[in-house]
Structure 1
Amino acid sequence: MFLAHLHYQRPFDVVQLHVEAHRSYLETLYASGKLIVSGPKMDKSGGIILFATTDRQEVEAIISKDPYYTLDLATYEVIEFNPVKYDAKFADLYL
């Protein structure tokens, strides 16, 4: 499973100018079943995306089309992990 930790590279007010394009892109990914959860960090320094895939190349392809990436607004720290413990209601989420 993959988690991306986004780190904003521009001031928050600049990032906010593009938040609708970013969220619209994420909506297409939710509709295709590629994302589990996403959202900004409370300190406004970046965000988190949890992917519903076990394919790193797919994660990298998804990131490469994100407006935050294409506009150089954020860097993405991709973290692969093995979810060995989880609530049973999440068992079908590509675990």
Structure 2
Amino acid sequence: MFVITLTYLKPLSEVEKQLPAHREFLKQGYSAGMLLASGPMIPRTGGIILARGNDKNAILNFLESDPFKKNDIAAYEVVEFDPVLFSDDFAKSI
């Protein structure tokens, strides 16, 4: 499982211009069963994506197609972790 943090590199006005394309990109990850949740940080300095899988390179390759990445809107950090405790509801996702 992965926690992906996005840190905005550009002002929110630039982020907003690419947001529709970014969300369309994320929908591809949801359709593929890779993504579990996503949304903006509070305060709005970036975003968080939860992803499942066991291949970090596959996650990194997927992110290369993100319009935020292509347009230098955000920097990414991908952290892999092994969930050992979780709720029953969450277990259905992994």
Question: Where on the TM-score scale, by shorter chain, does this alignment land: which range?
Answer: over 0.9
Secondary structure, aligned partner of 2:82: coil
Secondary structure, aligned partner of 2:3: strand
Percent identity (aligned): 37
Q: Which runs of 4+ in 1 moved over 4 A?
A: none
Structure 1 unaligned spans of 5+: none
Alignment of 1:74-93 (within 5 A): 74-93=74-93
Alignment of 1:19-30 (within 5 A): 19-30=19-30
Matched residue, 2:7: 7
TM-score (norm 2): 0.94
Matched residue, 1:61: 61
RMSD: 1.0
Aligned pair count? 94
TM-score (norm 1): 0.93
